[in-house]
Structure 1
């Protein structure tokens, strides 16, 4: 990820409607597939500014994070968060260490996403839950993907096939439904006009209020139906089945 992308992440992680929306979707999945807290251990892979570590901790988990980028690691350390500098393919944790592992907008950064999936399986306890979010639709590829050093965007089929190689997938759905149509139009027009896509803009206070309200509605729809019909990203939850006797 480019340096300026990390700077944007630090500045916007707690205020920008998109990042807050992602946390709303995570809450829905955690509510459905995990038992909050009870001294269970959770790991956020590619923890960035540590927002997800804090979100998991607030739910009662013993939460930890890893990131291999110096800026992210140092930022989390300054916040006194339990973070380790490590690679997603070689985390350094003992086998069967965690009840929940999250990789939110992470695996698309690595050429070998299967190696990450296998490492997650290794460090998850039997019956543990893996929660993953990825950017969707290769045709939505844009300058933003290049700046974030993405290797790919996913279809539901490609993500499902990847997860099912090591896990039993419990749930998969589109997310960020409300911005799908405007994002599709803007990205397509920018490609036609050959203009680079602007990354995360600084929304006004009222824009943030409006989008947070829209995302609250989207979250409630997601919670009720456990599915959204389209979106710019995909969310999935998978379980590590106990080894057969």
Structure 2
């Protein structure tokens, strides 16, 4: 990821609608998936500033390891109450079966096409049999934006492609759904009409919004979270979430 984005994320991730709403959805999914499982050690693979890794540790009491390949992330990560490791998700510097669960949120999109399979196999190597995997990625190539270019995003996924990637690497999918669906028409207009016509300059999309808009977009994600908490899925959206387990 573009190193310049780390500071933008650090400033925004506490209050910006996308981070708050996606955290709430993630925690609902983890609350469901962890039932009946023993989870002690979790790896956040591609953790950025480490804020989410720290929140996972505090919420669940798990030993949490935050790992990122970018040296720019290390000063941020070492401030957190988690173990900090610098490493690439295609060559994770941890032993086999050392984790009970692994999170990788919006990281596969930064890999060169063709290397995502190696990362998914590495996830399976470090997660013990019966362990959990949670992956989130950006969806649909046609939703690429000036923000995508700025953060050096290299690929996006469809549900079919993400499921195939997981199964081919030996994972058993438990759940796979699109996210950030209610704002999809607005995003399509912004990314496919407005930006190509009026604003092609690559720049971060992470920044302060008017409070009313931030609240409205957060409310949309919370509605989606309530829908997903019933075990339902969404047929299209700007992101994809996969929950899978490593077969025993």
The alpha carbon displacement at 1:38 in A equals 6.0
1:15 maps to 2:11: no
**Residue equivalent to 2:161:** 158
**Residue equivalent to 1:138:** 141
Q: Compared with structure 1, are the counterparts of its residues 14 and 191 closer, same or farther at alpha carbon in structure 2 (3 Å cutoff)?
A: closer
Equivalent residues in 2 for 1:23-102, closer than 5 Å:
23-35=23-35, 40-57=40-57, 58-102=59-103
**Residue equivalent to 1:184:** 188
The alpha carbon displacement at 1:172 in A equals 0.6
The alpha carbon displacement at 1:218 in A equals 1.6
Would you say the 8 A contact 1:37–1:60 is kept in 2? no
The alpha carbon displacement at 1:177 in A equals 1.2
In the aligned structure 2, how far is the partner of 1:80 from the partner of 1:70? 18
Aligned-residue CA RMSD (Å) = 1.8
Listed as ranges, the gaps of 5+ residues in structure 1 are: none
SS at match of 2:168: coil
The alpha carbon displacement at 1:36 in A equals 8.9
In the aligned structure 1, how far is the partner of 2:39 from the partner of 2:161? 34
Normalising by the residue count of structure 1, what TM-score does the alignment of the two structures yield? Answer: 0.92
SS at match of 2:235: coil
Query: More deviation in 145-154 or 201-210?
Result: 201-210
Q: Compared with structure 1, are the counterparts of its residues 61 and 226 closer, same or farther at alpha carbon in structure 2 (3 Å cutoff)?
A: farther
The alpha carbon displacement at 1:210 in A equals 2.9
Task: Extract structure 1 runs of 4+ deviating beyond 4 A.
Answer: 36-39
SS at match of 2:193: helix
Would you say the 8 A contact 1:38–1:60 is kept in 2? no
In the aligned structure 1, how far is the partner of 2:163 from the partner of 2:224? 23
In the aligned structure 2, how far is the partner of 1:72 from the partner of 1:174? 28
Listed as ranges, the gaps of 5+ residues in structure 2 are: none
Normalising by the residue count of structure 2, what TM-score does the alignment of the two structures yield? Answer: 0.91
1:229 maps to 2:232: no
Q: Compared with structure 1, are the counterparts of its residues 77 and 192 closer, same or farther at alpha carbon in structure 2 (3 Å cutoff)?
A: closer
In the aligned structure 2, how far is the partner of 1:7 from the partner of 1:175? 25
In the aligned structure 2, how far is the partner of 1:23 from the partner of 1:37? 21
Would you say the 8 A contact 2:183–2:220 is kept in 1? no
The alpha carbon displacement at 1:160 in A equals 0.9
Aligned with 2:224 (options 205, 218, 225)? 218
Residues 36-56 of structure 1: CA distance to partner in whole angstroms, max 9, x if unpaired?
A: 996611110111111221222
SS at match of 1:208: helix
In the aligned structure 2, how far is the partner of 1:204 from the partner of 1:241? 46
Q: How many residue pairs are counted as aligned between the two chains?
A: 242
Residues 130-164 of structure 1: CA distance to partner in whole angstroms, max 9, x if unpaired?
A: 10000001111222112111111111111111011
The alpha carbon displacement at 1:80 in A equals 4.2
**Residue equivalent to 2:107:** 106
Query: More deviation in 76-85 or 122-131?
Result: 76-85
Would you say the 8 A contact 1:36–1:61 is kept in 2? no
Q: Compared with structure 1, are the counterparts of its residues 192 and 47 closer, same or farther at alpha carbon in structure 2 (3 Å cutoff)?
A: closer
The alpha carbon displacement at 1:223 in A equals 0.7
In the aligned structure 2, how far is the partner of 1:163 from the partner of 1:39? 21
